Amino acid sequence: MTAIEILEIMAVLLAVAAALMAIVIVLNVTASFMRKLLPFLPKAPSIKQSKPKTKKERRIERMSKEKGEGVTFNDIFMFMIAVPLVLLWVGFAGFVIHTGLNNSAVLENIEAYTTLIAILGGPALLIIKDALDVWKQEQAEKTAFYKVKAQAVIDYNDASQKQAQMIEAAAQEQEHKIESASVVIAKKK
C-alpha cells in the first residue's frame, strides 16, 4: 500500500465522519427548532427496559464546577474535527519523513507530499496556536490567583503580627498601670 492510497483511505474516512457529524448536528438543530416552534406536539415515547424493582435507587446528583456547565458546540468541534486534523497532520508528516528515508520514490514526489502537509498544516497550526493561547490564559489566571493568595497570606500574617504586638503593648501598659497603682498605694500607707 502506497502513501497515496493510505492518504486516500484516511481522507474518505474523515469525510464520512464529517458527514455523519453534520447529519447529527442538523437533526439536533431541527429537533430543537421543532420543539420550540411546535410545543404542543407530543414527544416521542422513550423505550425503557424494565428492571426488577428490588431496591429503590438513590438519586445521585452530579455536581459540576460551574452551574450550567455542559458540552458545547466548540467542545464537539475540538474533539471531532480539530484533534483528528492535528493528529492526521503530525502522523502524515511523520509517515512522509519515515518513508522518504527508506524509499527513493517518495523523494521523487516530495513536492506533492510537502504540499499536502502544508495544506493540512495551515488549519492544524491555527488550532494548535489557539490551544496554546487558551493554555497561556489559564496559566496567567493561575499565576494571578496565586499572587493574590500569596498577598492575602502576607497581609494576614502582617495583621496578625500587628495585632499580637498591640495586645502585648496593651498588656504591658496594663501591667505598668497596676505596678504604678500599687506603688502609689504603698506610699500612702
Residue 61: all three cell numbers together: 446528583
pLDDT digits (tens, 9 = 90+) for 76-114: 777 777 788 888 888 888 888 888 888 888 888 888 888
Query: Among positive and negative, which fits the CA dihedral 118, 123, 124, 130?
Result: positive
Cα 121 to Cα 141: distance, rounded to the nearest angstrom = 30
pLDDT digits (tens, 9 = 90+) for 62-78: 544 555 556 777 677 77
Residues in the chain: 189
Predicted confidence band of residue 49 (pLDDT cuts 50, 70, 90) = low
Cα 146 to Cα 59: distance, rounded to the nearest angstrom = 37
Cβ neighbors of 113 (< 8 A, separation 6 or more) are: 3, 96, 100, 106
Q: For the packed helices 110-188 and 83-102, what is the interaxial angle rounded to 10 degrees?
A: 130
pLDDT at position 57 is 52
Quickly list H helices, the chain.
3-37, 73-77, 83-102, 104-108, 110-188
Cα 75 to Cα 82: distance, rounded to the nearest angstrom = 10
**CA neighbor of 7 nearest in space, from 125, 100, 118, 116:** 116
Classify burial at 113, counting beta carbons within 10 Å of its beta carbon; exposed 0-12, middle 13-18, buried 19 or more: buried
pLDDT at position 150 is 93
Give pTM, 2 decimals: 0.43
